[in-house]
Structure 1
Amino acid sequence: MFYRPEDGHGLPHNPFNAIVTPRPIGWISTRGTDGSENLAPYSFFNAIAYTPPQVMFSSTSAKEDRGDTKDSVANIRETGIFCVNIVEFAMRDAMNLTSGPWPKEEDEFTKAGITREDCQTIACSRVAAAPANLECRLTDIVTLKGENNFLVLGEVTGIHMRDDCLKDGIFDVLAFNPLTRMGYQDYSVVREKFSLARPTG
């Protein structure tokens, strides 16, 4: 099968969402200038540079009470900070609950019963029990082609790692089984890993 996106695919659901898979999930926590906090998952997320460490996520829809975007991007526009919380399999239900289209006044930490702690380098909360947290300062928000599409870029200014995830000097993802996003309403979990030596030449 071949299709041009502008012509449509004729399938019950958009296959593009399932083709680029699995995708890591950035559980983004933000705080507005009024002190309100937000926590929401984004599967258009990844690490993009080592030195300095940098990450990205993109938001692709809007809420009526936030104009052209959603709570996360709106808060980041105001404050220039955000925290990426890594999602483990055990947190799947809490993560899913925070994905709802809740009013901007709704605190997802409280709604989902998630314990929070203060970040160290930015004025924002983080998911206390997450395997890792990446505290970030905004470097740029890029307006992408299409409606309500924004790419958020940030530099990592502080990193938290849960002690039980450090084994023999490495951050061991099998200690917490990362949750990943697939297509449609599907997710996957990482339970196996293997190593490949990079070629030299």
Structure 2
Amino acid sequence: MHYDLAAPSLPHNPLKAIVAPRPIGWISAMSREGALNLAPYSFFNAVADDMVAFSSSGRKDAMTFAEDGGEFVCNLASYDLREGMNASSAPLARGHSEFEHAGLRTAPSRLVRPPRVAEAPAALECKWLQTVPLKPLGGGEPTNFLVIGQVVSIYVDDRFVADGLVDTAAMRPIMRGGAFDYFSVTPENRFEMRRPKGGG
């Protein structure tokens, strides 16, 4: 079949099922006045050794607070926290705590003001660098925005560090698929490959 984005023939956009599974940026951000927001973003990834980015559809609180406060935290969404992560995606009124709504605790960050999710096995503390409006074909006002941050400190629960390496599989991160699908990393899924040496 051929799917035409201008004339959808499926109930869900297949792009989200094809570009999958996608890591989840579980973003906590704080405005200059101290208002706090927590929300998951599945258009998220590392874009350099010390930079991450997430894309917001519309100017939502996580994005505007990151810009206003100049900082944000990417918390690792794990299988054990899947219900809390999902609950934090509810469209709450500004000023209503997603942490409280989702039954999650805050923990102070080291180098940025926004707190991390205390229960999360890892978190990336970030300084906001820029927001890039993603202009659509044909012009018009952008409705999607790419938020880029530089990682300035990393928290990892000591339980998931062994022999000097972070054990990703033991943290069991969850990732987003299409429609209502999620995926989980487990130790059984892990395999190792070494980069090949150059030819002579």
What TM-score comes out, normalization by structure 2 length?
Answer: 0.92
Counterpart-to-counterpart distance in 1, 2:109 and 2:78: 19
Corresponding position of 1:161: 156
Cα deviation per residue 1:49-73 (whole Å; 9 max; x = unaligned)?
11xx110100013xxxxxxx11101
* 3-state SS in 2 of match to 1:109: helix
User: Aligned match of 2:195 in 186, 195, 198?
Assistant: 198
* 1:148 has 2:147 as partner: no
Q: Give the gaps of 5 or more residues in structure 2.
A: 137-141
* 1:36 has 2:26 as partner: no
User: Aligned match of 1:134 in 100, 124, 129?
Assistant: 124
Matches within 5 A, 1:116-135: 116-135=106-125
Corresponding position of 1:65: none
User: Aligned match of 1:101 in 91, 95, 101?
Assistant: 91
Q: Is the 2:132–2:145 Cα contact (8 Å) retained in structure 1?
A: yes
* 3-state SS in 2 of match to 1:82: strand
Counterpart-to-counterpart distance in 2, 1:195 and 1:77: 39
Corresponding position of 2:102: 112
Q: Is the 1:121–1:158 Cα contact (8 Å) retained in structure 2?
A: yes
Q: Give the gaps of 5 or more residues in structure 1.
A: 62-68
* 3-state SS in 1 of match to 2:17: helix
Q: Is the 2:12–2:178 Cα contact (8 Å) retained in structure 1?
A: no
Cα deviation per residue 1:56-99 (whole Å; 9 max; x = unaligned)?
100013xxxxxxx1110111121110000011100000000000
Percent of aligned pairs with the same amino acid: 43
Q: Is the 2:129–2:149 Cα contact (8 Å) retained in structure 1?
A: yes
* 3-state SS in 1 of match to 2:159: helix
Report the residue type matching 2:62 in the other structure: S
Q: Is the 1:131–1:162 Cα contact (8 Å) retained in structure 2?
A: yes
Q: Is the 1:36–1:107 Cα contact (8 Å) retained in structure 2?
A: no
What is the number of equivalent residue pairs in this alignment? 191
Cα deviation per residue 1:132-165 (whole Å; 9 max; x = unaligned)?
1100001110000244200000100110000111
* 3-state SS in 2 of match to 1:28: strand
Report the residue type matching 2:16 in the other structure: N
What TM-score comes out, normalization by structure 1 length?
Answer: 0.91
Counterpart-to-counterpart distance in 2, 1:178 and 1:87: 6
